[in-house]
Chains A and B, each alone.
Chain A
């Protein structure tokens, strides 16, 4: 069966520090991968998605970036965190854009102080 992992589960970082969040998927090949952010009291905002290795599409301009160095690995990064980057970051995957179910990871709670 397929599983999705995210780490770390929680993270507290100072403003201006770098960020690296990792997401890996097991049990499937060439998944479509997604990064969402959920700010406090708000809905989900799609940040990035990827249909294959090295292929990244950005939905919202910001100081975050994403990379997909391996088929089942999706990394969210920042060179310098802002206070507004605080939130709950969720990784998700699905088989292809034509399948209608996305499966979400457990999330990473990021607090920028």
Chain B
């Protein structure tokens, strides 16, 4: 079956620090990969996605590259801001299946 493993949190960084949140997956077939973000008290928002190997998804300064050889989709940002504090979810979906989410990683950015 499909599964997603995320780096355990919480992660605490200072403003302007470099961010990496690791995500690896197991899937049957060729999944699409996603990062969702959940700001405090809100629902989930799609942050970025990649639908095939070597694709790079990017949005709001965040990037993630679909690495088929390592079955990974790590989230990165070069310089985080306080407003990036949120919970980040890695997710995958294969054709005909439902979205499978990781456990989520809490990020706190201090000024």
Contacts of A78 in B (CB 8 A): none
Contacts of B96 in A (CB 8 A): 97
CB-CB contacts of B78-110 with A at 8 A, as 1s and 0s? 000000000001000101101101111000000
Please report the C-alpha to C-alpha distance between residue A6 and residue B104 in the assembled complex, in whole angstroms: 22
In whole Å, how far is B63's beta carbon from the nearest beta carbon of chain A?
18
The total of interchain contacts (Cβ-Cβ below 8 angstroms) comes to 42
**Tally of chain A residues near chain B (CB < 8 A):** 21
Can you list 9 pairs linking A and B with CB atoms under 8 Å apart? A34-B98, A42-B103, A44-B44, A59-B98, A97-B96, A100-B49, A103-B46, A106-B42, A109-B41
Contact of A107 among B43, B51, B95 (CB under 8 A): B43
Contacts of B43 in A (CB 8 A): 6, 90, 104-107
A101 near B46 with CB under 8 A, answer yes
